[in-house]
Amino acid sequence: MASNNSLLYFLLLSSLSLLSATSLCNLPLPLPSATLPSASFPSHFFTISSGSFSGGHPLFSLSPPSSRPNSFSFLAKSSFHTHSPGLFRLSGTIILRGTHPPSTNRSLLHLHRVRPRLPLHHRYAAVSFDLVGFWSEPDSLLCMHGPGIILSSRGNAIHSNALLKLNFSKTSTLTSPFVTGTLQSSDEPVNPNYFDPVSLVSFAEKNYEYTETSHAKSVCGDLSVQEESRGLGGEFSCEQLRGLLEGSFQLEYGRDCLNGHCDPVRGALGFDQDYMFSNQLDCSDDGKVHMYLVFTNESRSMSRSFMIGEKGLVVEGFWDGETNRLCLVGCDVVASEEDSRKNLSISECSFGLSFWFPSVFSIKSRSVAVGRIWEGKRESKTGNFTMIPFGTTANYMSNLAKLKYKYTKVEVVRGFCAKVDHGKKGKGDFPDGRSFRDMRFRFDVKSKEGKGFSGIASPISLGNNFYAALDLADNATQLDSDNGYLNISYRIEYNLDQGSKKQMKISAEGIYNPKSGALCLIGCQYIGSSDTVRQARVNDSMDCEIFVNMQLGSLHGKPAEHVKGTIRSLREKSDPLFFDSVEITSRGIYFEQAAESMWRIDVEITMVLISLTFTCLFLGLQLYHLKKNPDFLPFISILMLVILVLGNMIPLVLNFDALFVMRRSKQNILMWSGGWLEVNEVVIRVLTMVNFLLQLRLLQVAWAARSADVSKTGLWVHEKKTIWICLPLYLFGAFIAWLVHTINKSGRHTLWEDLSSYAGLILDGFLLPQVIFNVFFNLKGKALAHSFYIGFTLVRVLPHVYDAYRSRHYVPFVKSSYIYASPNEDIYSLAWDIFVPLGVLILSVAVFLQQRFGGSSFLPLRLRRSGEYEMVPLSSSS
């Protein structure tokens, strides 16, 4: 039987070359000839970590967003020899990740249905298929089929089947570097689970055969590098090289000035994209390197996954440890016009590249990795051909070992800085410049036209130290200074317009005076290729005629005084590179202030918990007092109890959820104190609810007691008189609050926030209705327990006392960081912090005197009523 199978598969194998790919994939699945996996072609040989795909409608969108392109991966699980030589049985899983198109189609293949009145959005999802099949070594063809799982719009798992075909060669070279193929649905087109064919392409990662390293050495040998470069720190490391080449590289085409105009030199390479990405880099242990380079006009791309850009190169070469350079030769990648992800082919191999890693940073060179690219076919006999330099644009706060910074504009900036900073010590203490967190700040930019946008300023170095190393060093580290000034370098970025992707990127360096907080910088920016800058006769890629002047606030200053300054051009207005000056303002706090704010927030959370706990206790004591003395129930002002109930109900129903959400959105890291806020948020919710229920219970029993006693109908008359006095007062106060809000249009509070603060003021005077009610009824008796009205008085007074202390000892980042004594819950200022406690204490004393001597006892004799109502305990015999 085995011999028959061998003969059968031998006959099949002999006819493989005559069959098309489609007929070959229809062959019976071969059985493995051994129980042990293949050693010559193990499963990881067939693994594809990252590839790109297109098609697959309606599973995936035909136009995915550039920020999230469609990608796939293939994980081979097993590989076995079969009885047919060159034929291997495989199993594996292919996973496709992409965006689903928005649609109202109710097909089971769609992961969601569009809801009415909501905008359409792409949804990201993954589809996987578990496949089995074979790989033919002579034909470099991989065929597999199997089931997959697709989620329906209701989240149900729908099973489908697919056929995978890949052109998979056992070796890849510079001229054949890609794996291409398709994934097709096994269902009929009329089946609702059917999807269009998916075109697959990836960069071959395994068994690469280097064929052009000698050529790479020859084209790179005559390249002259003026700057000092650093090595990889010992033995060759592919991981370290991959990290240094990560991110985008900006190509500097240079400028050719003729006839009064300077145009970028963009024809030297045959393409004119601005950015390059090193994609799918792989190495051998002896320092040989091959990778896929993508050229695009987008500065941000998902470089970790396989990309298809506007242009591509396949390169290979080696790391030269003697010159500390990476020398490469490249081939042009040509994509078919019909579908760029379906057919990729190699054209002329005429490109040369070199990468190296500078050991010195400067204002014009701040790239971790730089290099040159040229097209070899343009080389003449004299060796003259155009080289295009490039450098990384990614964050350079990593990989800073053995780096130095060379200041070249310090002497220039001193002349400008002397006009704005006279070296005198400013008021207060200023940052010493050592802390990256204190010297880095976000800012708001205001142009001459009044347009506002945002930006960020990040320090790079202070003296000869990079901030990445300075933050780890001892605070006692000595810094080189000249007459008290410190050399410092920055990277400044801000948007040119609100919501615009265009940014102003400035490399700056200068001096900082830690005695006065003055920061003076000369900046350089890369000159683009717009029509405006083409008119400038500048044969350089950088404009270094920019002056940045900033004044840092003191360590204990207000947030509004954190940073102020200007960015202006030093050129004449007639110069095409001139731009109007912009003003910089930054509202922020230093790290020490942030730490104090964190501690303050924890304290305020504790104070809120204590206040709510004692409020519940005081309410419980009042209910216990009325249980022992039920005859006092009708003599409690209903209006006072309604005010107390509403004071807890409104935050509970309307504001409580928004309270914490608003604070989180504005506070970022300040609000996340080790999970402390999240835990106490639940406790605060519970205590607020208990407080509300106790007050509601107190209102219910007081209302029921007054309504049940017919003899106490006169009490409702006095209650109405109390309402007629208090209600106009409350409405008049609300009118004043609205009037102040209308006049103060520059205020940051909304009308609702101002009215909410005024409601807190009404709650402060919760005893006012009881005092007025006692005057009308002239009650003499202990209707309110001392613990109740004195305790509530202290609960309302303490926030104002604390606010008076807080305003003098803490600098607020934003007032929404206030948890206790929040401006959204009451009116707080120095005057109100004196007036409110005084008024609340007067009301509390008035209640005490009324309950002891009668409702009108504290009034002048001519205003007192002739009689009083005194509660007398009934004897048991009665």
Report the 3 state secondary structure along 677-726.
HHHHHHHHHHHHHHHHHHHHHHHHHHHHHHHHCHHHHHHHHHHHHHHHHH
Q: What pLDDT digit, counting tens, does each position of 562-594 carry?
A: 788 999 999 998 888 888 888 888 877 777 777
Backbone angles phi, psi at 526, to 5 degrees: -75, 135
pLDDT at 142: 93
Mean pLDDT (whole number) for 311-335: 89
What span, in angstroms and rounded, lies between the C-alpha atoms of 733 and 742?
Answer: 14
Whether 418 has a pLDDT exceeding 80, the answer reads no
CA atoms within 13 A on the CB side of 624: 9
pLDDT at 430: 85
Count CB neighbours of 770 within 10 A.
26
pLDDT at 800: 92
The highest-confidence range among 267-276, 280-289, 370-379, 531-540, by mean pLDDT, is 280-289
Q: Are residues 51 and 200 in contact, defined by beta-carbon separation less than 8 angstroms?
A: yes
Whether 454 has a pLDDT exceeding 70, the answer reads yes
CA angle 279, 281, 282 (to 5 degrees): 160
Mean pLDDT (whole number) for 855-865: 62
First-to-final CA distance of the chain: 116
pLDDT at 670: 39
pLDDT at 829: 84
| Residue 683 CA from chain centroid, whole number | 29
Q: Are residues 205 and 48 in contact, defined by beta-carbon separation less than 8 angstroms?
A: yes
Instruction: Produce one character per residue of 300-310: b if its CB has 16 or more CB atoms within 10 Å, e if not.
Output: ebebebbbbbe
H or E element in which residue 641 lies: helix 638-650
Residues for the chain: how many in total? 878
Question: Residue for token digits 């006999």?
Answer: 381
Query: Partners of 82 in the beta sheet?
Result: 32
What span, in angstroms and rounded, lies between the C-alpha atoms of 287 and 317?
Answer: 9
Whether 528 has a pLDDT exceeding 70, the answer reads no
Bigger pLDDT: 225 or 316? 316
What span, in angstroms and rounded, lies between the C-alpha atoms of 287 and 322?
Answer: 12
The highest-confidence range among 122-136, 416-430, 700-714, by mean pLDDT, is 122-136
What span, in angstroms and rounded, lies between the C-alpha atoms of 82 and 133?
Answer: 12
Write out the two tokens for 769: 């209705």
Write out the two tokens for 856: 């009108």
Write out the two tokens for 749: 């509070």
Is residue 769 reached through a cis peptide bond, with omega within 30 degrees of 0 on the bond before it? no
Q: Are residues 263 and 394 in contact, defined by beta-carbon separation less than 8 angstroms?
A: no
Crossing angle of helices 751-764 and 713-743, rounded to 10°:
140
Whether 465 has a pLDDT exceeding 70, the answer reads yes
Write out the two tokens for 765: 């005077």
Distances (CA, A) of 25 to 48, 80, 137, 170, 813: 20, 18, 14, 18, 67
Backbone angles phi, psi at 536, to 5 degrees: -85, 130
Q: What is the DSSP letter of 529?
A: -
Q: Which residues, 6+ apart, have CB-to-CB distance to 596 below 8 Å?
A: 810, 811
Instruction: Produce one character per residue of 314-341: b if its CB has 16 or more CB atoms within 10 Å, e if not.
Output: bbbbbbbeebbbbbbbbbbbebeeeebb
Q: Which of 482, 405, 489, 492 is nearest to 443 (CA)?
A: 492
Q: Which residues, 6+ apart, have CB-to-CB distance to 634 below 8 Å?
A: 702, 705, 706, 709, 712, 715
Mean pLDDT (whole number) for 306-325: 86
Mean pLDDT (whole number) for 45-61: 86
pLDDT at 219: 79
pLDDT above 70 covers a percentage of the chain that reads 72
What span, in angstroms and rounded, lies between the C-alpha atoms of 805 and 555?
Answer: 19
Q: Are residues 536 and 561 in contact, defined by beta-carbon separation less than 8 angstroms?
A: no
pLDDT at 280: 84
Mean pLDDT (whole number) for 804-831: 75
When mean pLDDT is compared across 43-52, 438-447, 521-530, 855-864, the lowest value belongs to: 855-864
Bigger pLDDT: 587 or 358? 358
Q: Which residues, 6+ apart, have CB-to-CB distance to 395 below 8 Å?
A: 247
Q: Which residues, 6+ apart, have CB-to-CB distance to 129 below 8 Å?
A: 93, 94, 146, 147, 148, 162, 164, 183
pLDDT at 95: 92
Confidence of residue 793 (pLDDT cuts 50, 70, 90): very high
Count CB neighbours of 65 within 10 A.
10
Q: Are residues 802 and 823 in contact, defined by beta-carbon separation less than 8 angstroms?
A: no
H or E element in which residue 243 lies: helix 238-244
User: Phi/psi zone of residue 546: left (φ > 0), alpha (ψ -120 to 50 degrees), beta?
Assistant: beta
- Evaluate if pTM is beyond 0.95: no
H helix and E strand count, the chain? 17, 32
Whether 487 has a pLDDT exceeding 70, the answer reads yes
Query: Partners of 313 in the beta sheet?
Result: 293, 332
Q: Are residues 564 and 547 in contact, defined by beta-carbon separation less than 8 angstroms?
A: no
pLDDT at 375: 84
Confidence of residue 4 (pLDDT cuts 50, 70, 90): very low
Three-class secondary structure assignment of 510-527: EEEECCCCEEEEEEEEEC
What span, in angstroms and rounded, lies between the C-alpha atoms of 317 and 291?
Answer: 9
What span, in angstroms and rounded, lies between the C-alpha atoms of 869 and 773?
Answer: 12
Q: Which of 66, 65, 61, 70 is nearest to 296 (CA)?
A: 66
Confidence of residue 151 (pLDDT cuts 50, 70, 90): low
pLDDT at 426: 57
Q: What pLDDT digit, counting tens, does each position of 630-663 carry?
A: 888 888 889 999 999 988 777 666 544 444 444 4
What span, in angstroms and rounded, lies between the C-alpha atoms of 270 and 283?
Answer: 28
pLDDT at 66: 66
pLDDT at 791: 93
Q: Which of 376, 34, 419 is nearest to 220 (CA)?
A: 376
Confidence of residue 25 (pLDDT cuts 50, 70, 90): confident
pLDDT above 90 covers a percentage of the chain that reads 19
What span, in angstroms and rounded, lies between the C-alpha atoms of 718 and 724?
Answer: 10
pLDDT at 500: 54
Q: Which of 477, 472, 461, 468 is nearest to 404 (CA)?
A: 461
Three-class secondary structure assignment of 421-457: CCCCCCCCCCCCCCCHHHHCEEEEEECCCCCEEEEEE
pLDDT at 508: 94
Query: Partners of 338 in the beta sheet?
Result: none
What span, in angstroms and rounded, lies between the C-alpha atoms of 128 and 117?
Answer: 32
What span, in angstroms and rounded, lies between the C-alpha atoms of 607 and 612?
Answer: 9
Distances (CA, A) of 131 to 31, 355, 752: 15, 41, 61
Whether 256 has a pLDDT exceeding 70, the answer reads no
Please state, rounded to an integer, the average pLDDT across all residues of the chain.
77
Whether 782 has a pLDDT exceeding 80, the answer reads yes
Q: What pLDDT digit, counting tens, does each position of 272-295 carry?
A: 788 898 888 888 888 899 999 988
What span, in angstroms and rounded, lies between the C-alpha atoms of 404 and 464?
Answer: 7
Q: What pLDDT digit, counting tens, does each position of 392-411 carry?
A: 876 555 556 567 889 999 88
Q: What pLDDT digit, counting tens, does each position of 597-626 carry?
A: 778 888 888 898 999 999 999 999 999 999
| Residue 217 CA from chain centroid, whole number | 44
pLDDT at 112: 34
Q: What pLDDT digit, counting tens, does each position of 753-778 carry?
A: 788 888 888 999 999 999 988 888 77
pLDDT at 694: 93
Bigger pLDDT: 817 or 413? 413
What span, in angstroms and rounded, lies between the C-alpha atoms of 33 and 28?
Answer: 15
pLDDT at 222: 67
pLDDT at 808: 78
Q: Are residues 51 and 202 in contact, defined by beta-carbon separation less than 8 angstroms?
A: yes
Q: Which of 254, 481, 566, 500 is nearest to 390 (CA)?
A: 254
Bigger pLDDT: 346 or 132? 132
Instruction: Produce one character per residue of 822-844: b if its CB has 16 or more CB atoms within 10 Å, e if not.
Output: bbbbbbbeeebbeebbebbeebb
Write out the two tokens for 409: 């504009």
Whether 226 has a pLDDT exceeding 80, the answer reads no
User: Phi/psi zone of residue 163: left (φ > 0), alpha (ψ -120 to 50 degrees), beta?
Assistant: beta
Write out the two tokens for 576: 């095409």
pLDDT at 468: 62
